[in-house]
């Protein structure tokens, strides 16, 4: 389990979906084993990642989203995401619950596109990412919030970074 690093900002980040981690999913038809393959969300992120919203417990009917994606990237171990939390009463409540450790995980709403079977495990090869939710009870134990930070990471060119570092050599 990841350790939550609490910060003063309004951006929560962590692994949204771990790859190659089978879990038991319970639905109306019973239960089954499910796992996401690396790259399952690649196309979805490219097409609509900038529009992805952050909900609380998949509740889009009675609550507004509490945040929006500011960074999404495929990593070898899973899908990483960073979400800016809205400066609203719902956003404040969600952020307080994250900082208190009451809510420490992510869960995804998705639409399957391509699946395959590996024994008893249903492997999600490609899926459309519809939303991400904050939750205290994740389907995947590896879908953990890693921390809160002030802002998204800034990506700069190598020459800019070297120029900034040279300022320290005086």
pLDDT tens string, the chain, 170 residues long: the values are: 333 445 568 999 999 999 999 998 887 888 899 999 999 999 999 998 889 999 998 887 778 899 999 999 999 999 999 999 999 999 999 999 999 888 898 999 999 999 999 999 999 999 999 999 998 877 767 777 777 765 544 444 566 666 666 666 65
Q: Where are the alpha helices (DSSP H) in the chain?
A: 42-48, 89-99, 158-166
Cβ atoms within 10 Å of 55's Cβ, excluding its own? 22
Rounded CA-CA distance 78/28 in Å is 27
Rounded CA-CA distance 134/105 in Å is 6
pTM of the model: 0.78
What kind of architecture, by CATH, is found in domain 11-166? Alpha-Beta Barrel (3.20)
In three-state secondary structure terms, 146 is: strand
What pLDDT sits at residue 170? 54
What pLDDT sits at residue 165? 64
């Amino acid at each position: 389990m990841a350790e939550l690093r609490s910060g003063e900002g309004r951006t929560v980040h962590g692994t949204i979906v771990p790859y190659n981690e089978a879990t038991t999913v319970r639905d109306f038809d019973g239960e089954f084993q499910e796992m996401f393959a690396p790259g399952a969300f690649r196309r979805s992120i490219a097409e609509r990642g900038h529009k992805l919203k952050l909900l609380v417990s998949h509740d889009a009917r009675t609550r507004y989203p509490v945040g929006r994606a500011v960074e999404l990237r495929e990593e070898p171990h899973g899908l990483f995401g960073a979400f800016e939390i809205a400066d609203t009463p719902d956003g404040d409540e969600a952020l307080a619950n994250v900082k208190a450790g009451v809510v420490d995980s992510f869960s995804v709403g998705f639409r399957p596109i391509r699946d395959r079977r590996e024994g008893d495990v249903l492997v999600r090869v490609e899926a459309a990412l519809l939303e991400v939710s904050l939750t205290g009870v994740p389907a995947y134990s590896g879908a953990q919030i890693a921390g809160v930070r002030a802002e998204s990471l800034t990506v700069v060119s190598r020459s800019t970074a070297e120029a900034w570092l040279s300022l320290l050599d005086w």
